[in-house]
Structure 1
């Protein structure tokens, strides 16, 4: 809301100042509280610096002198809103070198940029300051990257996963990663995984051994019971004399009958045997 009010106040001021047909528009470039801006406006007790660019048609007859005089006269008429005006040279605005007093850099893209400034695009009018850069050898092929710390300094360091050794970026040792190989997460994960694997393997081996010992104990008990049952079966009394039947589970029975009571053999009686049929 405050910026909108400021925008309306500034643009209206310049529109009323340049009551000519070749005036185009006023562009607000920067708003700050520093004293380096080109146009200063006061809102209450707080000073605000506004940098603007006034655009005119190519066929205008106005120049920097007539425009500056018109702005200063308008400020004198409104001292409550504006306190002063500082003119900026066109060469300074474009960031170009000023060859001489007669050349005001009206050629735009043809002027030479000041020290520390470059023109990113040949068709671009403005010369801008580029950030700090690293040497050309600081590239991906060398496993290096350029790290910009601030607006004035940059440092070339190895890519993550590499560390510098005598000026050469070498791959990190096993288990280490990150910038300058300071991240040991992989090593910790490998150690923990190995220990966990050993513990699990030991538990499995212990379980197998205990199950085998348990099964062996059961088999021994079964063999003992079978042997005892076999002995009991051989020694169990049957109620009969078991003479001559040692080692057998079936007893032999001896019966003493009188000779007179012995049954007659039917095959010993005469006339009983059948005759031959041939």
Structure 2
């Protein structure tokens, strides 16, 4: 890890103050006297802005990126590549990722590459890894990937830092040799800055966007877009757009929730195995979460069944009431059945009129008490029934009279 310092001769602006005094001379006798006037103007400049040490492309115009620090600059390549100062270009290297603990107090200034605190850490780590790995063949540099924020106290000690140590691609070094060399450097008496060294996976260091991508482990990790997302030309380790499948033709639409693109089903559709299917009967709304229609269908069905039952019950009662016989007719029918000769096959509705069988006068018939004309006729009620039977001279008494 090397720093390239700028040439001397940088300029700073100092405070400037300009004071102007104007004094009038006394006026002659008999004229108006002008009082003394003093005009003072002060000009104070603001502190000098941060100097951009990357001006003029000191890292070249190839693949390297210049990072301006507080009093210098450094050249950084993409993950898995190291910077070669001689030709100002980036080359593929052998990467050894790790998480180290640094004996320092955490401040928010460590997240600012232009701050003095960040540059101090940068210089201290550069010195440590040069001493620890400089004796190994093909060592090039160590790059700070991330300074982790503490979870508890802001001034916690130590501070966790993610780094990558790079060697030339054909270097014979492996994780064991690198780990041993760093452990030996940590155990030295003159070292008090790095407290621990822990090997890490590439995906732990690569910093894929966990909300929109999934990291695929490898020498150079790959940030794969999550389902229904895709990468734009401005994305490096994230996916900030919905895929082409998220379209109205598939009943989907794209919306950003907490700055993350999300592909959703349209209203009255729900997600089933990645597809948007219509809501079942009775459901509606987003993801078919509204069951108001189902409640209305159930309530309508119940009330319909109740109303239908009432209509049927009223119809049955009306039919039964229409065919119900009067009490007088029922009593007459019962009395007719009780007086009927059990040996007769034909039923009789009314009491059989007794005749004198074997009388000398065959035409003789007793008077019918219900129709005889006598003085006592008023004692008997008028018949209020249809005479379905007529008197017969046969011993059986009555016989059916056909009226049609």
Alignment TM-score, normalising by the size of structure 2: 0.27
More helix by share: 1
Higher relative CO (CA 8 A, sep ≥ 6), structure 1 or 2?
Answer: 2
Alignment TM-score, normalising by the size of structure 1: 0.38
More strand by share: 2
